[in-house]
Amino acid sequence: MHQERAYVIWIPVSWLWVVSVAVAQPGGVATLSEVSKECIKCHKDTNPGIYQQWGESRHYRANVGCYECHRAEPGEPDAFEHFDWQIAIIVSPNDCARCHPRETAEYAASHHSKGARILGSLDNRLAEVVEGNAGFVTEGFPQGNSAAAVNGCWQCHGSVVKVLDEGELDPATWPNTGIGRINPDGSEGSCSACHARHAFSAAQARHPDNCGKCHMGPDHPQKEIYYESKHGIAFLAFKDKLHMDRAKWVVGEDYHLAPTCATCHMSATKDQPVTHDVGMRISWNNRPIISVRPEVSDAKLGLLGKDVPWQKRRDNMQNVCLTCHGNQWVEGFYVQYDALIELYHEKFAKPGKILMKLARPLLKPASFSNKLDFIWFELWHHEGRRARHGASMMGPDYTHWHGTYEVAKNFYAELVPELEELIEKGKAGTDPARVEAAAALEAKLHEILESENHRWYLGKMTSAEAKRRKEAAEQFKARYKH
Site for a second copy in 270-329 (CB under 8 A): 270, 301-302, 322-326, 328-329
In angstroms, give the least distance from the CB of 360 to a second copy. 14
- Which amino acid does the sequence have at 363? L
- Which amino acid does the sequence have at 283? S
Site for a second copy in 451-470 (CB under 8 A): 452-453, 456-459, 465, 468-469
Residues recorded for the chain: 482
Size of the residue set binding a second copy (CB under 8 A)? 156
Distance, CA of 430 to chain centre: 47
Q: How many CA atoms lie within 13 A of 264 on its CB side?
A: 20
265 binds a second copy (CB under 8 A): no
| Among the residue ranges 252-260, 284-292, 349-357, 435-443, the one whose residues contact a second copy (CB under 8 A) | 252-260
350 binds a second copy (CB under 8 A): no
Site for a second copy in 371-400 (CB under 8 A): 371, 373-374, 387, 390-391, 394, 396-400
Rounded alpha-carbon distances, angstroms, from residue 290 to 1, 279, 347, 348, 469 = 35, 18, 12, 10, 29
366 binds a second copy (CB under 8 A): yes
Q: Out of 187, 190, 201, 316, which residue is the one contacting a second copy (CB under 8 A)? A: 201
156 binds a second copy (CB under 8 A): yes
In angstroms, give the least distance from the CB of 422 to a second copy. 14
Q: In this structure, are residues 137 and 159 in contact, taking their beta carbons and an 8 Å threshold?
A: no
171: preceding bond cis by omega (within 30 degrees):
no
Nearer to a second copy, 214 or 355 (CB): 214
SS3 content of the chain, % helix, strand, coil (to 5): 55, 5, 40
Q: In this structure, are residues 279 and 313 in contact, taking their beta carbons and an 8 Å threshold?
A: yes
Nearer to a second copy, 133 or 311 (CB): 133
Q: Out of 266, 340, 355, 419, which residue is the one contacting a second copy (CB under 8 A)? A: 340
Q: Out of 167, 184, 305, 384, which residue is the one contacting a second copy (CB under 8 A)? A: 167
20 binds a second copy (CB under 8 A): no
Q: In this structure, are residues 404 and 240 in contact, taking their beta carbons and an 8 Å threshold?
A: no
Residue 262: Cβ-neighbour burial (10 angstroms; 0-12, 13-18, 19+): buried
Pairing of strands 85-87, 80-82: antiparallel
In angstroms, give the least distance from the CB of 83 to a second copy. 9
Nearer to a second copy, 61 or 329 (CB): 329
Q: In this structure, are residues 179 and 158 in contact, taking their beta carbons and an 8 Å threshold?
A: yes
Site for a second copy in 408-437 (CB under 8 A): 408-409, 412-414, 417
88 binds a second copy (CB under 8 A): no
Q: In this structure, are residues 167 and 192 in contact, taking their beta carbons and an 8 Å threshold?
A: no
How many CB atoms neighbour CB 354 within 10 A? 15
Site for a second copy in 104-123 (CB under 8 A): 116-122
Nearer to a second copy, 104 or 113 (CB): 113
Binding mask 31-60 for a second copy (x = CB under 8 A): ---------------xxxxx-xx--x----
- 476: enclosing H helix or E strand: helix 463-479
232 binds a second copy (CB under 8 A): yes
In angstroms, give the least distance from the CB of 459 to a second copy. 4
Which runs of E-coded beta strand occur in 28-135? Answer: 80-82, 85-87
